[in-house]
Copies of this chain bind each other. A is one copy, B any other.
Amino acid sequence: MQAPAVRFRVDFGREGAVGPGKIALLEHIGTGGSLSQAARELGMSYRRAWQLLESLNSCFREPVVQSAKGGRGGGGARLTPLGRLLIRVYREFEAEVQKRAARSFRPVAGLARQSARGTAPIVALKDRRKA
């Protein structure tokens, strides 16, 4: 009934994929200026957030985030121009994909059954753990 949601991941080169998790992390780094704060806000361990960021930085020839240790406030993390570009490009692409999906899957979406009560909205990746 409802328009289906599309989850996707973009594979660059050999080892380097970008999906919703890493983009959300970048966005939170951009607004908060800190990797640990971003991790807290996203409900993931700092360890994991750092690994995601490491994977992102090593995916491109330039870093997407520049980080500093120590100093005022203990350090911090800032988006590079490439990081900002990646976010923008990804979000624009995502919007087009969702719009296209709503049209493309209209013929079959009506036949999909939603098992739970009524029309449940698509839950975010984070909350699907106990769903």
Q: Give A73-107 as 1s and 0s: 1 = Cβ < 8 Å from B's Cβ atoms.
A: 00000000010011001001100110011001101
A100-B108 contact given A113-B59, A115-B15, CB 8 Å threshold: no
Chain B residue numbers with a CB within 8 Å of A61 are 111-113
User: What residue of chain B has the Cβ atom nearest to residue A111's Cβ?
Assistant: B60
How many Å from the CB of A108 to the closest CB on chain B? Answer: 6
How many Å from the CB of A54 to the closest CB on chain B? Answer: 14
Instruction: Report whether A113 and B13 are in contact in the complex, using a CB–CB cutoff of 8 Å.
Output: yes
Q: Give A1-30 as 1s and 0s: 1 = Cβ < 8 Å from B's Cβ atoms.
A: 110111111111111110000000000000
Instruction: Report whether A108 and B120 are in contact in the complex, using a CB–CB cutoff of 8 Å.
Output: no
A7-B6 contact given A100-B96, A105-B93, CB 8 Å threshold: no
Instruction: Report whether A89 and B113 are in contact in the complex, using a CB–CB cutoff of 8 Å.
Output: no
The answer, yes or no, to whether A122 is at the interface (CB within 8 Å) is yes
The answer, yes or no, to whether A44 is at the interface (CB within 8 Å) is no
Instruction: Report whether B85 and A116 are in contact in the complex, using a CB–CB cutoff of 8 Å.
Output: no
